[in-house]
Amino acid sequence: MKRIPKATWAEIRTAYASGIGLREIARNMGIPAGTVLAHAKREGWTRQIRAARAIVPVNQNRPAASPLEAVAATMRERGERHLGRMAGIVERGVGHVVSMDGADILEAVEDIDRLDRIGRRTYGLDDSHGENVFVPIQINIECG
């Protein structure tokens, strides 16, 4: 079982105090949600944060985000999370392709092309915007 450092717990508590949900924090940090929820309950974070907010008056002049801005921020965060997942898939896929021999690469050329397109789109390297762009490639195959 991996031990989570105190500094990480402090970051999680700060994020929670700023209004981010514990499950979302856990998901973004790659920590089981049950671990974060149990720690927060054990430490009494909700009670402490509620007590601190009661003492410090809320600034009424602070501009609140409109519903549209809140939705846009949520969608942007989900998009970034999706890109992170896709980047991981692309990295694992490229590692697999690198380990293949020449004949297997030729048999899987359509899958490799699809992986390349996903990677280019994920990393923002695709400038074609849906157009058919042909890029010459050279494949050297050594037959033994």
pLDDT value of position 126: 61
Q: Is 0.85 topped by the overall pTM? A: no
Q: Is 14 left (phi over 0), alpha (psi -120 to 50) or beta?
A: alpha
Q: Are the C-beta atoms of 71 and 39 separated by less than 8 Å? A: no
Looking at residue 123, its pLDDT comes to: 63
Provide the pLDDT for residue 59: 58
Q: What is the CA radius of gyration of the chain?
A: 23
- Report the range of poorest mean pLDDT among 5-9, 18-22, 91-95: 91-95
Cα–Cα distances in angstroms (integers) from residue 31 to residues 23, 25, 76, 83, 118, in the given order: 9, 8, 22, 19, 27
Short-list 83, 103, 105, CA closest to 94: 105
pLDDT digits (tens, 9 = 90+) for 80-101: 777 777 777 778 877 777 888 8
